[in-house]
Chain A
Amino acid sequence: MRREFTAISVLSMLIAFMAGTVICMQIANVETPSGWEVSASVLWTLEAAIFGTAVYAWRPAVSLVGWVLGIAGLTLVRVGLTVAAAAGLTAMSGGETIYPAMQNTADAVPRVSAILFSAMICYPLRLFLPERAPRRPADARRFAESAAVKSATAAAGAEGGVLIVTVKDRGATVEDESRMAAETHQAPPLPVPDMEGAINLPASAILAQLPREMVTEKALAVADSHDVPIPLEAILGQLREARVVVSISQVMEWLPSRVRKALVQPAELTLHEDAVELPLNLVVTRLPPEALALPPPSPPAWADVGTSEGVVFATTQ
């Protein structure tokens, strides 16, 4: 928004100020017709009303502070215009003080012109007025009474009873993942089967998991004909977590020496700390069935439906 306030805005404000001063001086020189005199209090009230309306018209969402600031700013500029015009008149007439000239420039007609010009001068500054915070729906009742829900309810009959309210995703309830992780609960531990042995994974599948800068064309070519034995003890303890992660140094140990020699170790990589995830589908499908054995079922009491009557829903087909 503030990008709209450019050097051209400043230039136009200066020009308007000069034009306002000159016109105010010209009007102040014209003798006020009889019956046009207005008391100072009426003039101040009129001025505040005009400025207040102008600020609100320019920025309907203005905050109370912004509105007061706007009126004060406009008044200040108007006074500045009047004083500048009085100073100009004094200089032209060779007077010693500007007070007599100010009497003229503060009259009703020159003052109205100063008010109009101060509005023109300050118009570009409206962008800086603070706005009030947007209102948010207080609770779900407001949502239920919203136009979107009402229109969707009306359309529900035509849609065969499906009420779909499409709303803009504002991410209002967005929470960071760390909080969610903190709230998660660890499932009861399962005994890890004590099994020895290894499963063979294709070396190419493992190379695909390594950092790209490590893997050379030669390594890929050599890997095609090799399998990598992965010890079960490195896998079984992690199966419950739905992923198998091993350090790169461990992978390097398991790789056939020909493949290992064809790999490049980038300087920034720490083999012991950096890890790779083994492809779960290849790991699980190669496991012996005993590896996924569960203890005898221990369903909670509610799972015992006994002789309970089953629930039947009336379906159309």
Chain B
Amino acid sequence: MASINYALKEISCKIVYYGPGMCGKTTNLQFIHQRTMREKRGNMVSLATPGERTLFFDFLPLEASQIHGFRTKFQLYTVPGQVMYNSTRKLVLRGADGIIFVCDSQWEKMRGNLDSFHNLIGNLSSYGYSLESTPYVVQYNKRDLPNIAPIEYMQYVVNPRQVPSFESIAIHGNGVFESLNAACTMVLAHLSQKQKAGVV
């Protein structure tokens, strides 16, 4: 859950990168870590197996520009994509203010994308959240590969609500900051809406 510290004039939010295994969630975080100014980010913590598969989560604290005089801090997390680590995914998802759902654009991963999306909905509902109440964007990653599905079909499968979506090549950084900026903007706008409504 987002926290607002009025004394320090600081807003802190949690963004989770969700998606099937090997879709590029950690690559997103690595690129962000690489390209953000040292003084505006903390250490990136990556808990991985020797085969570089995320075992628990990746974590990167980040500071963005000031908004209305408030320092905005984002804690970026990734979940382990492998099917068997659902408890960990659920744990990381807890208290998420925004989600970036990363899809693998390859044809053979379509089913994996859909399963992961359903799993996201299921895990959110176990906390009483839903995609209706949690800001999220969809990122279509690996667009540089030859055997990829057209965006229209990917939208049809994982994004029928047509929330903001981005094509990306995370390994080269294309679309990485665009997705992050959109997700963070929506999270803050949502927070502001909730504040106005007196929910927060």
Which residues on A are within 8 Å of B, measured CB to CB? 153, 156, 161-169, 171, 173-175, 177, 179-180, 183-188, 190, 239-243, 280-281, 284-285, 289, 292, 294-295, 297-306, 308-317
Contacts and interface: CB of A to CB of B under 8 A. Distances in A.
Nearest to A164: B46
A302 B68 contact: no
B32 to A, nearest CB: 8
A188 B126 CA distance: 18
A174 B87 CA distance: 8
B127 interface: no
A302 B193 CA distance: 8
Contacts of B3: none
Contacts of A184: 115, 118-119, 121-122
A174 B84 contact: yes
A242 B110 contact: yes
Contact of A313 (B43, B123, B177): B177
Contacts of A301: 190, 193
Interface in B112-134: 113-115, 117-119, 121-123, 125-126, 131-134
A173 B45 contact: no
Interface residues of B, number: 76
B4 interface: no
B110 A167 contact: no
A317 B114 contact: no
B9 to A, nearest CB: 15
B43 A171 contact: no
B64 A162 contact: no
**What 8 A-B pairs come out closest when comparing CB atoms?**
A185-B121, A311-B184, A184-B118, A297-B162, A242-B110, A308-B189, A312-B65, A302-B190
B188 A165 contact: no
Nearest to B126: A183
B86 A175 contact: yes
A238 B85 CA distance: 28
Contacts of A315: 35-37, 177
B198 interface: no
B185 A305 contact: yes
B47 to A, nearest CB: 5
A85 B47 CA distance: 64
A164 B48 contact: yes
Given A163-B46, A316-B35, A310 B181 contact: yes
